[in-house]
Structure 1
Amino acid sequence: NLLVEYEGTLLVVSHDRSFLDEVVSSTLVFEGNGQIGDFDGGYTDWKHEMAKRAAAVAAPLLKSGVVKPTGKAAAAAARKLNNKEQRELAELPALIERLETEQTELTTKLGDVSIYRKDPDAASAAKARLDEIEAEHAKAFARWEELEAVNNA
Structure 2
Amino acid sequence: MPAYHSTFLGEEDRLVGNVSLLPFNSQFRGPTYPSTNDYDIVEEVLDLFRANSFFKNFEIKGPADRLLIYGILFISECLSKLTKSTNFKEATRILNNLSLDNFSLPGEIGFPLSSLYLPPSNKNEADLLRSYLSQFRQELSSRLLKRIYTDDLPSKYWLSFTRRRFMNKSL
Please report the TM-score for the alignment, with normalisation by the length of structure 1: 0.28
- The structure with the largest helix share of the pair is 1
Larger relative contact order (CA 8 Å, sep ≥ 6): 2
- The structure with the largest strand share of the pair is 1
Please report the TM-score for the alignment, with normalisation by the length of structure 2: 0.26
Which structure has the larger Rg over C-alpha atoms? 1
